[in-house]
Amino acid sequence: MEYFEVFGDDGACLGTVPRAQVHRHGLWHRSVHCFVWNRRGEMLLQRRAPDKDLYPDCWDYAVGEHLKNGESFRRGMRRGLFEELGLEDTQPLPDGAVYREALQWPGGIDAEIQQAFVLTTDGSIRADGVEVVAIRWLDRESLLSWIKASPAEFTPWFLREMDRLSIAARWDQLVKALS
């Protein structure tokens, strides 16, 4: 059984609670996610496994990871990049401030204290095959067309982050700055 640290509205850690209860009761817990590009300017997306409890079979940012007890956002991000994509020795950069966001879904509320990261790599990607069943590199125009045509194929987190961080508008700037 997986346990998450949960936090009060004041940011104080309240202890650990089983994952299912955290999501069922909308308890604040920490997570990280990463937008990854290659040097050709394509963004990496992952397809979530069909047995995931939230948004199975949906496309998402390259990595999304809940933090382990006491783990920093940066350390959790580096662990997630290795576990989900096989990327080692990466230097993901924070993008935006740590923030709170809650998304309601059938069966609960996902209330997360999140940090976004960005990264470019031309390294070898090895999807773990358990949580990540497929990966895909897309240029900006292809991704935006796909989102417009089929938004339900993406996780709501990914769509909100694309908007919140103005990823589409900053795409070329991010790729250039990260290369």
Residue in 164, 149, 178 with CA at minimum distance from that of residue 40 = 178
Q: Are 102 and 112 in contact (CB under 8 A)?
A: yes
> What integer best gives the mean pLDDT of the chain?
94
**CATH of range 3-174; options 3.40.50.2000, 3.20.20.450, 3.90.79.10, 3.30.1330.40:** 3.90.79.10
98-140 pLDDT, tens per residue? 999 999 988 889 999 999 999 999 888 999 888 899 999 999 9
Q: Give the model's pLDDT for residue 53.
A: 81
- Domain locations in the chain as residue ranges: 3-174
What is the per-residue pLDDT for 129? 84
| Contact criterion met (CB below 8 Å) for 147 and 154 | yes
- Per the CB < 8 A criterion, the answer to whether 59 and 158 are in contact is yes
- Token pair in block for residue 140: 């900006």
